Structure 1
Amino acid sequence: MADDHTHVQDFFSARAADWDRRFPDDGPAHAAAVGELGLRPGDAVLDAGCGTGRALPALRNAVGPGGTVLGADLTGEMLDEALRAGREASGTLLLADVARLPLRAGALDAVFAAGLISHLPHPGQGLSELARVVRPGGRLALFHPIGRAALAARHGRASSDDDLRAEPRLTPLLADTGWRLDAYTDKDSRFLALAVRAG
């Protein structure tokens, strides 16, 4: 497992300094996806795999000053960029593996995860841990600012039903890890899967 994590850390460490410049227009898409998470003032929410923390301001706006916003990432360089951008003003940053979070069971109302699932070495373990820290009835948003086909094309590949984010694969994976898929959108302009923590 350490080798899997090293690969992910190396990938993102090398890209951290340029991350926000490479994707400068993603902010509104993140904010729109956060808006569909159903957060209320005072809620506690985690941005899992927060990277440079681009979703943290939208999450803070959603939960208000009395809410709790956490951003967890495995890569210190990404969190350094979040600090440079001043995004710690919107939430607490944690250097942590989303498969082993330093949170008590049921502590959160929701999890936002942008681009996370395809970078989890063991997706089932990661989604199970996210379910552990969310209360029954809480929500999960798996988000990407472009859809599966557009992302595959960006990387010179065809879209595949073997992709973890394909609905026929994602639905049972979520069900096996404590979630129920509630809504699914996969179009060129965005990918968003919303799930509810099973009771």
Structure 2
Amino acid sequence: MSDDHTHVQEFFSTRAADWDSKFPDDGPAYAAAVSDMGLGTGGRVLDAGCGTGRALSSLRAAVGSSGTVIGADLTPAMLQAAARAGRGRHAALLLADVTTLPLRSESLDAVFAAGLIAHLPEPSPNLRELARVVRHGGTLALFHPIGRATLAARQGRQLRPEDLRAETNLGPLLARSGWRMTSYVDEPDYFLALAFRES
């Protein structure tokens, strides 16, 4: 495991037990983001870096009982917290590194990723790996329950021009990674960039 992956795993392992209680009001934002993805009944969707699985029930509702929902995370403690919360009934929980997914190429219709991009060790190739497992024309949702400015303020820092989630950076990054950004919303209480798999 690389140093980047070890750092991410350590960061989230120590926070897994009380993650949901720290952010109890995020549920409606997750549901809105999943709704904005336009998933259909029978769809196949991956929650990449699913953490404690807060999006899984919304994803299951969107694709219905005939659909497939996979929640993948690198951190065992996060998946254990998801299972304890009963979220395993909405999805298959998979211990996996989203930068090298154990999934067939073009096997999914969509990927949902909450807060993931900040933790990718090599964003362009890592986003290309997400593109690999999605069919042509499939959807990528990069989500955060609060916007960039709100997150920066919460963390006691200024917004930086090199922030990967800035629209001027994210569009070209996605384009280099096999995606085309179709919408971008960065409001105080909601961040969602949608893209479709282009190549």
TM-score (norm 1): 0.99
Q: Output one character per residue of 1:114-166: Cα deviation in whole Å (capped at 9) or x when no partner.
A: 00000111111210100000000000000000000010000111112210000
1:198 counterpart residue number: 198
What SS does the corresponding residue of 2:146 show, helix, strand or coil? coil
Work out the CA distance in 2 between the residues paired with 1:186 and 1:161: 15
2:35 counterpart residue number: 35
- Cα distance, 1:38 vs structure 2: 1.1
1:141 counterpart residue number: 141
Work out the CA distance in 2 between the residues paired with 1:156 and 1:176: 31
Q: Does 1:17 align with 2:17?
A: yes
1:103 counterpart residue number: 103
The one-letter amino acid paired with 1:95 is L
1:159 counterpart residue number: 159
What SS does the corresponding residue of 1:20 show, helix, strand or coil? helix
How many residue pairs get matched? 199
2:71 counterpart residue number: 71
2:8 counterpart residue number: 8
Matches within 5 A, 1:176-191: 176-191=176-191
Larger mean CA deviation between 70-79 and 119-128 belongs to 119-128
TM-score (norm 2): 0.99
**Structure 1 residue runs without a partner (length 5+):** none
When the two chains are superposed, the root-mean-square deviation of aligned CA atoms in Å is: 0.7
2:174 counterpart residue number: 174
The one-letter amino acid paired with 1:178 is G
**Structure 2 residue runs without a partner (length 5+):** none
What SS does the corresponding residue of 1:135 show, helix, strand or coil? strand
Q: Write out the 4+ residue segments of structure 1 that deviate beyond 6 Å after TM superposition.
A: none
Work out the CA distance in 2 between the residues paired with 1:11 and 1:122: 18
Work out the CA distance in 2 between the residues paired with 1:65 and 1:190: 28
